């Protein structure tokens, strides 16, 4: 009973503290769980080896650099250049502008993409604007190899690009669903803001795609391992600095604004929680429970992300439960992908997801109006995942 109680309390602590600080929530939850269920020597040994694990440190360092790229694109005006030169039809602009902004892990990023939608006019209902901002802001992150997919695939011990290829068909489906339910009725072209500047359009696009391209190329040298990722994002940040014509004195304010150490600590916290969880007797208790793989990777995954409003947090809880209950050999790339997409669907409509709450506030609508708008594409997405799970799991 004590074991289950400690696990539940740890999860509650994580969910409560994560509203303010995800990295702190993971550290508190991990140490609470370990202090109740493990000898202190084992607990601090796990913490020590997690902190000095060079692969985890390199991954955390790379993830910490990524928001600096986003902040640099925003601060330098390169992202505004990109958006201002998207001279396309309104429905294309409404889907593309939040999607491109979503690739940049900027704190409060939904508030940056929301005003861009109003550039297309004010004749669209607030709940539709909210649904567009949420759905399309997160649609490209689903497959972007330097977004949430990176740490999640590392947790599952899968290659991020292999996972991306498996996710791609569902990404296309979700994109089509978003278009059909949110964008299809919208007519007309965007107002002209001036002459198209190809350079201002292509330079920020080049910066956004350069990191995964460089990373893929460097991965041809297996000796680099996680260092390849650090090198790739560092070069991309240098591109942002140079093409954005930023100065040395801009770096410190950028660090203060983007707080890259938070993202570094989130990765450390995720792996700390994973290792402490796997070292406790909770794993044995979970293996005695009765539930199917499909229910875990779809039902529990969707509910957990809906309740927490976090992708990486949900995955960090689900993966050790799966491994404990069903074993490593059952955790295939198909199982991981279905779990990841289920988490994403629950996350996109979660009322505690910060992007949802700030978008609702900005467009002056309610959660229930937004939820009604997003209900059908979300349900269709889950239905497809259920069918797929029955076919491949």
Q: Give the mean pLDDT of 6-26.
A: 84
For the chain, the average pLDDT equals 87
Q: How confident is the model at residue 346 (pLDDT cuts 50, 70, 90)?
A: very high
pLDDT at 107 > cutoff 60: no
Length of the chain counted residue by residue: 393
Structure tokens at 271: 């792996």
The model's pLDDT over 286-331, given as tens digits with 9 standing for 90+, comes to 767 778 999 999 999 999 899 778 898 889 889 988 988 898 999 9
Structure tokens at 78: 């390169």
Give the pLDDT of residue 374: 94
Q: Decide: pTM greater than 0.85.
A: no
The model's pLDDT over 29-54, given as tens digits with 9 standing for 90+, comes to 999 999 999 999 999 999 999 999 99
Give the pLDDT of residue 341: 97
Own/partner long-range contacts of 213-221 (Cβ < 8 Å, ≥24 apart) = 215/145, 215/146, 216/161
What single-letter DSSP state applies at residue 88? S
pLDDT at 343 > cutoff 90: yes
Burial of 20 (0-12, 13-18, 19+ CB in 10 A): exposed
User: Would you call 151 helix, strand, or coil by DSSP?
Assistant: helix
Task: Give 53's contacts (C-beta < 8 A, 6+ positions apart).
Answer: 271
Of residues 1 and 255, more confidently modeled: 255
pLDDT at 106 > cutoff 70: no
How many helices (H) and strands (E) in the chain?
A: 21, 0
Q: What count of other Cβ atoms lies within 10 Å of the Cβ of residue 198?
A: 8
Give the pLDDT of residue 300: 92
What single-letter DSSP state applies at residue 128? H
The model's pLDDT over 265-275, given as tens digits with 9 standing for 90+, comes to 988 988 898 88
What burial letters (b/e) apply to 124-161, b meaning 16+ CB within 10 Å?
A: bebbbbbbbbbbbbbbbbbbbbbbbbbbbbbbbebebe
User: Would you call 16 helix, strand, or coil by DSSP?
Assistant: helix
Of residues 375 and 123, more confidently modeled: 375
Which residues are registered as beta bridge partners of 189? 89
Task: Give 212's contacts (C-beta < 8 A, 6+ positions apart).
Answer: 144, 145, 146, 232
Q: What does the domain layout of the chain look like in residue ranges?
A: 142-187+283-393
Burial of 370 (0-12, 13-18, 19+ CB in 10 A): buried
Q: What count of other Cβ atoms lies within 10 Å of the Cβ of residue 32?
A: 17
């Amino acid at each position: 009973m004590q074991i289950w109680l400690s696990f539940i309390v740890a999860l509650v602590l994580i969910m409560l503290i994560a509203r303010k600080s995800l990295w702190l929530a993971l550290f508190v939850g991990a140490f609470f769980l370990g202090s109740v269920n493990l000898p202190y020597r084992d607990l601090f040994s796990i913490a020590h080896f997690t902190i000095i694990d060079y692969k985890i440190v390199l991954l955390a360092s790379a993830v910490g650099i990524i928001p600096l790229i986003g902040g640099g694109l925003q601060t330098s005006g390169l992202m505004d250049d990109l958006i201002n030169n998207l001279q396309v039809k309104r429905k294309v602009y409404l889907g593309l502008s939040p999607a491109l902004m979503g690739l940049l892990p900027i704190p409060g990023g939904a508030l940056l993409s929301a005003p861009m939608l109003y550039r297309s006019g004010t004749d669209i209902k607030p709940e539709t604007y909210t649904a567009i901002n949420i759905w399309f802001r997160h649609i490209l992150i689903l497959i972007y190899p330097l977004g949430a997919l990176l740490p999640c695939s590392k947790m599952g011990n899968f290659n991020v690009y292999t996972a991306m290829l498996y996710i791609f068909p569902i990404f296309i489906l979700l994109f089509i669903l978003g278009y059909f339910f949110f964008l299809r009725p919208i007519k007309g072209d965007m107002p002209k803001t001036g002459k198209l500047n190809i350079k201002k359009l292509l330079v920020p696009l080049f910066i956004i795609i350069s990191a995964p391209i460089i990373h893929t190329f460097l991965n041809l040298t297996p000796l680099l391992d996680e260092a390849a990722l650090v090198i790739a994002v560092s070069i991309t940040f240098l591109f942002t600095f140079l093409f954005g014509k930023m100065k040395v004195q801009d770096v410190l304010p950028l660090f203060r604004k983007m707080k890259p150490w938070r993202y570094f600590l989130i990765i450390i916290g995720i792996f700390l929680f994973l290792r402490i969880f796997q070292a406790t007797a909770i794993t044995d208790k979970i293996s005695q429970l009765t539930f199917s793989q499909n229910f875990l990777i779809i039902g529990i995954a969707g509910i957990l992300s809906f309740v927490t409003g976090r992708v990486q947090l949900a995955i960090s809880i689900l993966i050790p439960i799966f491994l404990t209950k069903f074993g490593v050999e059952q955790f295939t790339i198909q199982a991981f992908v279905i779990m990841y997409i289920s988490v994403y669907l629950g996350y996109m409509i979660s009322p505690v997801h910060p992007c949802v709450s700030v978008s609702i506030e900005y467009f002056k609508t309610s959660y229930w109006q937004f939820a009604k708008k997003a209900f059908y594409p979300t349900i269709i997405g889950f239905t497809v995942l259920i069918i797929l799970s029955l076919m491949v799991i």
